[in-house]
Amino acid sequence: MTEEVRVRVGTTEDLDAIMVLAMKVAKENGVFEPNVHKVLGEIWPALHCHHGIVGVIGEPGSQLEGFALLRIGQQWYNTRDILEERVVYVAPKFRSAKGGRARKLYEFCKQTADGLGLPLLVGVFSSTRTQGKVRLLGRMFGQEAGAFWWHGPKTGSWHTSEAPPQD
């Protein structure tokens, strides 16, 4: 019998494994080369539950199967706090495994938002496997509230010949 997939709150012991996954998602979906210091500046406070939280799948100190980075922020036009999903990512080798890791990470996002009493903002910002992600979010969250487009770059292009020119 297989063990059930479980999302737990990440700790500083998970930092290196989270950073490995963060660089993978930046390579997969990023439009510009990632800045490791900026990535760390988003993750480190969330690992201390300072205006955010990180959910992880995997044991402390080991390779992680996926993670969700949530930060508390505000929309540009008001001062009400919301919970923003910055990234939900499942490592490629675990995407087709049983257990529904992406679904479990999004459930973690919903439970965290409910526990904090904050509205949750989630989305898909990717040019690959987009429709499957949209269908999953539709099943979990209902009708979408918008869409995104890039004029020029393609997600995941910063490290390929399709990369836009750098300033």
Could you give the C-alpha distances from 26 to 20, 86, 157, in angstroms and in order?
Answer: 10, 12, 10
Strand duo 120-121 + 81-90: pairing = parallel
Q: Specify the CATH number of the domain 7-141.
A: 3.40.630.30
Q: Count Cβ atoms below 10 Å from residue 159 Cβ, excluding itself.
A: 13
Question: Residue for token digits 């995997």?
Answer: 58
| Residue-by-residue pLDDT tens, the chain, 167 positions | 457 999 999 999 999 999 999 999 999 888 889 999 999 999 999 999 999 999 999 999 899 999 999 999 999 999 999 999 999 999 999 998 888 999 999 999 999 999 999 999 998 877 677 788 888 888 999 998 888 777 877 777 777 655 544 44
pTM to 2 decimals? Answer: 0.89
Rounded Cα distance between 56 and 141, Å, is: 21
pLDDT at residue 83 in the model: 98
Rounded Cα distance between 151 and 30, Å, is: 14
Which phi and psi angles does 58 have, rounded to 5°?
135, 170
The string of DSSP letters for 91-111 reads: -GGGTTSTT-HHHHHHHHHHH
Rounded Cα distance between 75 and 96, Å, is: 35
Q: Roughly what angle, to the nearest 10 degrees, separates helices 15-29 and 36-47? A: 130
Domain extent listing, the chain:
7-141
pLDDT at residue 161 in the model: 59
